[in-house]
Amino acid sequence: MGCCGMANSPTGESMTERIVRVLDTFSSDRTVQTAAQIGRRAGLPSSTAHRIVDDLVEAGLLERDDEHRVRLGLRLWELALRGSTALRLRQAALPHMERVQARIREHTQLAVLEQDEALFLERLSHPDAGANITRIAGRLPLHASSSGLVLLAHAPADLRERVLTAPLRAVSPETMTDAAVLRRALAEIRARGFVVAAGSIESVSTGVAVPVRDGGEVVAALSVVLPRETPTGPAVEALLDAARRIEASLRSSRP
Amino acid sequence: MGCCGMANSPTGESMTERIVRVLDTFSSDRTVQTAAQIGRRAGLPSSTAHRIVDDLVEAGLLERDDEHRVRLGLRLWELALRGSTALRLRQAALPHMERVQARIREHTQLAVLEQDEALFLERLSHPDAGANITRIAGRLPLHASSSGLVLLAHAPADLRERVLTAPLRAVSPETMTDAAVLRRALAEIRARGFVVAAGSIESVSTGVAVPVRDGGEVVAALSVVLPRETPTGPAVEALLDAARRIEASLRSSRP
- Reported confidence tier of residue A153, pLDDT bands at 50, 70, 90: very high
Helix ranges, A35-111 (H)? 35-42, 46-58, 74-82, 85-104
pLDDT value for A227: 95
Which of B18, B19, B27 has the CB atom closest to A82's CB atom?
B27
Q: Cβ B4–A10 below 8 Å, yes or no?
A: yes
Please list the ranges in chain B whose pLDDT falls under 50.
1-7
List all residues of chain B from 76 to 95 with a beta carbon under 8 Å from chain A.
76-88, 91, 94-95
- Which sequence spans correspond to the domains of chain A? 15-80, 83-253
Q: Does B14 touch chain A (CB under 8 A)?
A: yes
Neighbours of B145 (CB within 10 A): 31
Distances (CA, A) of A74 to A144, A164, B6, B187: 33, 39, 24, 28
- The gap from C-alpha A148 to its chain's centroid, in whole angstroms, comes to 10
Instruction: Please state, in angstroms and rounded to a whole number, the distance separating the CA atoms of residues B138 and B158.
Output: 24
CB pairs under 8 A between A and B: 211
CATH architecture of the domain covering A83-253: 2-Layer Sandwich (3.30)
CB-neighbour burial class of residue A179 (10 A; exposed 0-12, middle 13-18, buried 19+): middle
pLDDT value for A9: 62
First and final C-alpha spacing in chain A:
37
Q: Cβ B7–A10 below 8 Å, yes or no?
A: no
Instruction: Please state, in angstroms and rounded to a whole number, the distance separating the CA atoms of residues A19 and A23.
Output: 6
pLDDT at A87 exceeding the cut of 90: no
pLDDT at A1 exceeding the cut of 80: no
- Reported confidence tier of residue A255, pLDDT bands at 50, 70, 90: low
Classify B29 as helix, strand or coil: coil
ipTM of the complex: 0.88
Distances (CA, A) of B2 to A5, A8, B5, B17: 10, 12, 8, 18
Q: Which residues of B touch A32 (CB under 8 A)?
A: 85
Strands B70-72 vs B107-114: parallel, antiparallel or unpaired:
unpaired
CATH 3.30.300.130 fits A15-80, yes or no: no
Instruction: Please state, in angstroms and rounded to a whole number, the distance separating the CA atoms of residues A151 and B153.
Output: 47
pLDDT value for A11: 65
User: What is the rounded average pLDDT for all residues in chain A?
Assistant: 92
B139-141: strand order across its sheet:
B139-141, B117-125, B107-114, B217-227, B205-214, B195-198
Whether the full predicted model's pTM is greater than 0.90, yes or no, is no
Could you give the angle at the alpha carbon of B99 between the alpha carbons of B113 and B95, nearest 5°?
Answer: 65
Mean pLDDT of all residues in A80-108: 91
Q: Cβ B19–A19 below 8 Å, yes or no?
A: yes
CA atoms within 13 A on the CB side of B160: 16
Q: Cβ A79–B6 below 8 Å, yes or no?
A: no
Distances (CA, A) of B86 to A28, B14, B220: 11, 26, 10
Q: How far A180 CA sits from the closest chain B CA (Å)?
A: 31
pLDDT value for A10: 60
B6, B119, B136, best to mutate vs chain A, most A CBs in 10 Å: B6
Q: Which residues of B touch A220 (CB under 8 A)?
A: none
pLDDT value for A204: 94
Which of A27, A48, A77 has the CB atom closest to B4's CB atom?
A48
Number of H helices and number of E strands within chain A? 9, 8
Q: Cβ B83–A14 below 8 Å, yes or no?
A: no
Q: Cβ A26–B83 below 8 Å, yes or no?
A: yes
pLDDT value for A129: 84
A9, A16, A44, best to mutate vs chain B, most B CBs in 10 Å: A16
| Residues A134, A139, A141, A145, Cα dihedral to 10° | 30
Q: Cβ B5–A18 below 8 Å, yes or no?
A: yes
Number of H helices and number of E strands within chain B? 9, 8
pLDDT value for A246: 96
Q: How far A166 CA sits from the closest chain B CA (Å)?
A: 23
Q: Taking CA atoms, what residue in A is nearest to B105?
A: A95
- Reported confidence tier of residue A5, pLDDT bands at 50, 70, 90: very low
Condensed to tens digits (0 to 9), the pLDDT of residues A95-126 reads 899 899 989 999 999 999 998 999 999 998 88
Classify A220 as helix, strand or coil: strand
Instruction: Please state, in angstroms and rounded to a whole number, the distance separating the CA atoms of residues B5 and A230.
Output: 56
Length of chain A: 255
Helices A146-153 and A179-192 pack at an angle, to 10 degrees, of: 80
pLDDT value for B5: 43
Q: Taking CA atoms, what residue in A is nearest to B255?
A: A29
Q: Cβ A9–B10 below 8 Å, yes or no?
A: no
CA atoms within 13 A on the CB side of B101: 23
